[in-house]
Amino acid sequence: MIQLENLCRHFEVGNQIVRALDEVTLEINKKEYLSIMGVSGSGKSTLLNILGLLDTPTSGDYVLSGINTSKMNDDEMAHIRSTKIGFIFQSFHLIPRLTAAENVEIPMVLSGLNSKERKERADNALARVSLTDRADHRPEQLSGGQRQRVAIARSIVMEPDVLLADEPTGNLDSASSKEIIKLIEELNKGGLTLMLVTHDVEMGSRSDRLIELLDGKIINDKKN
């Protein structure tokens, strides 16, 4: 469902060119569980951002569900992000002044769903991350693991095809980390294509497939 063809992402810093991604060619299947590893600065986040249409490649092609994304404008990309892609981040990115339920509702607010449907779907999503009893709590009243679970609920509430997770356990202790990994693996079993950036070798080895980046190039691509 995802094809990357000679994909490059270069940054100009002063007179220097940083090749964050260099001629990456990659095919990812539907429902695949893919881990991305590599040393710091190897291009993992850059790859994930391009996959999530937050960033655009300098050259090369990215085809998503048969559509070449290079011809899309800002609004079309926003629409794909809204309907097909879920994001989770290391630092949760919850809106502090809104409750857990309201945070989960934001993607639906942006796409104009009515409040009845929003409420229903938000309740479902919160139930799936076992946070029904915390729906009215604000982020500051939740633990790190709980916050990440709210973020996961938010990422799946629009029923996307792909879940992109950039070091989702980076700010969590090992118990919470296990919980979160278990949760997103369940989502993958439910049919979601999962791409997980991690530094944890053990975590990486749990996935169907593991790719390793170095200096913007794929140096290793193996099935587990």
Partner 1 sequence: MRFYDLIFLAFSTLVRYPLRTLMLLIATSIGVMAVILLTAVGEGARDYITGQFKDMGTNLLFVVPGKNETSGGMGPVDLAGVAPRDLTVEDAISLRRIEGVKNIAPIVIGETPAQFNGLERSVPIIGTTPSFLAVRNWEMEVGNFLPGVTLDRSPPVCVIGKEVESELFGKNNAIGQWLRVGDRRCRVTGIIGTEGRAIGIDTQKIVVMPVSLATALFNRPSLFRIAVQASNTWEMDQIKKDIIRIIKKRHQGKEDITVIRQDAVMQSFDNIFNVLTMALASIASISLFVAGILIMNVMLVAVSQRQSEIGLLKAIGAKNKQISYLFMTEAIILSGTGAILGLVFGHTITQVLKLAFPTFNFLPPLWASFVSIIVALVSGIVFGLLPARRASKLDPVIALSGNK
Binding site for ligand ATP (CB under 6 A): 11, 13, 18, 20, 38, 40-46
Least distance CB 23 / Mg ion (angstroms): 20
**Region binding partner 1 by CB under 8 A among candidate stretches 26-34, 71-79, 127-135, 169-177:** 71-79
Strands 209-214 and 193-197, bridge-based pairing: unpaired
CB 156 within 8 A of CB 131: no
157 three-state secondary structure: coil
Nearer to ligand ATP, 41 or 144 (CB): 41
Q: With binding defined as CB under 8 A, does residue 18 bind partner 1?
A: no
Beta bridge partners of 195: 34, 164
Under a CB-based contact definition with an 8 Å cutoff, are residues 86 and 163 in contact?
A: yes
The structure tokens 């139930």 sit at: 127
What is the C-alpha to C-alpha distance for residues 137 and 141, in angstroms, rounded to an integer?
6
Please count the helices (runs of H) and the strands (runs of E) in the chain. 7, 10
DSSP assignment of 196-220, as one string? EE-S-HHHHHTSSEEEEEETTEEEE
**Interacting residues with partner 1 between 33 and 62 (CB under 8 A):** 49, 52, 54-55
CB of 67 to Mg ion, least distance (A): 26
Say whether residue 31 binds partner 1 (CB under 8 A). no
Nearest alpha-carbon partner for 100 in 122, 73, 117, 85: 122
By CB under 5 A, what part of segment 38-57 binds Mg ion?
45
11's contact among partner 1, ligand ATP, Mg ion, none, with CB below 5 to 8 A by partner kind, is ligand ATP
Q: What's the order of all strands across the beta sheet hosting 217-223?
A: 85-89, 162-166, 193-197, 33-38, 209-214, 217-223
Among 87, 121, 142, 167, contact with partner 1 (rule: CB under 8 A): 87
Which one of Mg ion, partner 1, ligand ATP, none is in contact with 42 (Cβ closer than 5 to 8 A by kind)? Answer: ligand ATP
**CB 162 to partner 1: min, Å:** 13
Q: Which of 12, 13, 66, 112 binds partner 1 (CB under 8 A)?
A: 112
Task: Return the number of the residue (62 or 89) whose C-beta is nearest Mg ion.
Answer: 89
Question: What does the binding site for partner 1 look like in residue numbers (CB under 8 A)?
Answer: 49, 52, 54-55, 74-75, 78-79, 81-83, 87, 89, 91, 93, 95-98, 106-107, 109-112, 114, 154-155, 158
